[in-house]
Structure 1
Amino acid sequence: MSRNALLFAVMCLVWGLTWLPVKVGATHVPPVFLAAARFLIAGLAMLVWAGRDVLKVPASARWRLLGTALLLNTGNYTLLFWGTAHAPTGLAAIVNFATIPIFTLLASRAIEGQAINGRKIAAIVLGTVGLVFLFASRAMGGLNVAQGDPLEAWGLAAVAAGTLLYCVGAVLSRPIAGAMPTLTLAGWQTLIGGIGLAIMSLSLERVGLADVRALGQWPVLPAVVFLVIGGSLMGFTIYMRLLRDWGAFRAGLYAFVSPAIAVGVGVAALGEPFGWAEAVGAFLMFGAAAIALKR
């Protein structure tokens, strides 16, 4: 196995496992507060890592940097962490990973005017049908809803909405991506997004001193450490290397591996339901992602 192949396996494993600490941490502290802690710490770490490049932000890029940070991290992760707190982690991962290629197509069309050909239309339609299957049992008040959180359907919808914000922010980030070092851009977007998450948490959640203390206690502390080191620092670094060496298509294949890991961990560790409707929906969404990612 080549070094990049090994790194790809590590990245898929880490990103597949991040959903479990989100779920565990959100049962002990408010979910948006948990997201704020993760991104504030990760953003500071990235900027320290950037070193002398930390101030290499052109004045012409500052407003776009601010806006994309609020979309990519504040808006996205407010919805994603809240949604994951109420929805099964495996299904949340499928909705998130599998819709990224589809929402990116739509955002590129709306913002940049990129054409959507027949293949891309097929991906959008197939992904939409897959989402319908994932939501079916919950939207109709089926068995999974009765056994789980009554807000599961809303949780999955929040994850989908957050993913859409992420894709819009990613497309809007393209014009400034080459204007500064990658780690500088990611560090400032992460830190600004973390500040926005902290504001959202204070506005929407009841956060007290007990929640702040819980960040340094079991099981929230290991959850935050894993999310910062594994999800943000390791995952981001490996992904950027694979983008350089493999290109966007091969690096993007994590969208098929990480959700499967998340589903397996959710079923094994948390006893989350995964029936035929979820399986059909996942299959269709992975097929849509494959079509969208095709060269």
Structure 2
Amino acid sequence: MLKSNWLSVALIIIVTAIAPIFWGSTYIVTTELLPPDRPFIAAFLRLLPAGVILVLISRHLPKRSEWLHISIMAILNFAVFHVLLFTAAYRLPGGLAAVVGAVQPLIMMLLIWYVDNRKPAHLALVASIFGVLGMAALLLSPTSTWDLIGIIAATAGAVLMTFGVFLARRWRTDMPLLAFTGWQLLIAGILLAPFAAFLDPDLPTLTAKNLLGYGYLSLFGTTLAYVLWFNGIAKLSPVAVSSLGLLSPITAV
């Protein structure tokens, strides 16, 4: 029985880990395949199609009592976070942006300590710090471009993502997984629409390369990745889930 439980947890961890691996590729896809300097449009086109797909598949409407929590998580987990993510991706080398984002486990431990009064184990704190330092040593170089706005965006994104994971675990309902994920994506996409329309430059004629980039980010980097991610949040501890973010820099180089 113990071995069976261990294998089950290991499988959940492996499947959940697919999400940050996909997310790490956001940086190179953004710089190589997407039109430049359009963070709101990139976030909008990434989120809205994924939300529509999942909501149509799930065919589940949230209860009246669930709308507020779903909307708050949509703003934190998706709308604001993805604008910050693409701002960082446009301005920073992928490795640097992902290393900044890798501080999430440390932020999560401090958040749980402050909110739930659960002091983190010293070993977990040390492991988290050395994990970030190790990634930095492997992926950063003296020639890395330290754009201030990009650094601020990446740091703020890491903080928001941590709060999003914390709230998703705390506010998890009996909603089906696809609906829980899809409605957050759809609401975030709708909220981003006016910002994408009025704040970013107009899109040029999209090439096959651009369409491939947007399609990959929406289908694999969002639809699939977030379903796996929220499934992991429901079954693993918040610190364990956040720690998987250390895998993002692997594909962000």
TM-score of Structure 1 vs Structure 2, range by shorter chain: 0.7 to 0.9
Match of 2:88 in 1: 83
* Aligned alpha-carbon RMSD (Å): 3.6
Cα shift readout 1:182-210 (whole Å, capped 9, x = no counterpart): 2211111111111222233335323x2xx
Is the 1:69–1:192 contact (alpha carbons within 8 Å) kept by the matching residues of 2? yes
Among 102, 105, 118, the residue aligned to 2:106: 102
Q: How does 1:1-295 map to 2 (within 5 A)?
A: 4=11, 11=19, 13-28=21-36, 30-51=38-59, 54-55=60-61, 57-96=62-101, 98-110=102-114, 112-117=115-120, 119=122, 122-123=125-126, 126=129, 130=133, 143-145=143-145, 152-206=147-201, 208=202, 211=203, 213-214=205-206, 217-239=207-229, 247-248=236-237, 254-263=244-253
Which 5+ residue runs of structure 2 have no aligned equivalent?
1-7
Is the 2:50–2:185 contact (alpha carbons within 8 Å) kept by the matching residues of 1? yes
Shift of 1:152: 2.2
Distance in structure 1 (CA, Å) of the matches to 2:83 and 2:14: 32
Change (3 A) 1:212 1:170: farther
Distance in structure 2 (CA, Å) of the matches to 1:43 and 1:253: 26
Aligned-partner residue type, residue 57 of structure 2: W
Aligned-partner residue type, residue 100 of structure 1: Q
Is the 1:93–1:259 contact (alpha carbons within 8 Å) kept by the matching residues of 2? yes
Shift of 1:85: 0.4
Aligned-partner residue type, residue 52 of structure 2: L
Match of 1:266 in 2: none
TM (norm. structure 2) is 0.77
Distance in structure 2 (CA, Å) of the matches to 1:91 and 1:194: 27
Shift of 1:6: 7.7
Distance in structure 2 (CA, Å) of the matches to 1:119 and 1:95: 22
Cα shift readout 1:60-105 (whole Å, capped 9, x = no counterpart): 2211211221111111111111111000012212222x12212222
Is the 1:30–1:205 contact (alpha carbons within 8 Å) kept by the matching residues of 2? yes
Is the 1:102–1:123 contact (alpha carbons within 8 Å) kept by the matching residues of 2? no
Q: Does the residue aligned with 1:177 lie in a helix, a strand or coil?
A: coil
Change (3 A) 1:130 1:204: farther
Cα shift readout 1:17-49 (whole Å, capped 9, x = no counterpart): 232212234444612211111101111111112
Distance in structure 2 (CA, Å) of the matches to 1:38 and 1:20: 15
Change (3 A) 1:75 1:177: same
Report % sequence identity: 23
Is the 1:34–1:224 contact (alpha carbons within 8 Å) kept by the matching residues of 2? yes
Shift of 1:143: 4.5
Distance in structure 2 (CA, Å) of the matches to 1:191 and 1:64: 14
Change (3 A) 1:174 1:11: closer
Shift of 1:109: 3.9
Is the 2:88–2:97 contact (alpha carbons within 8 Å) kept by the matching residues of 1? yes
Change (3 A) 1:106 1:252: closer
Which 5+ residue runs of structure 1 have no aligned equivalent?
146-150, 264-295
TM (norm. structure 1) is 0.67
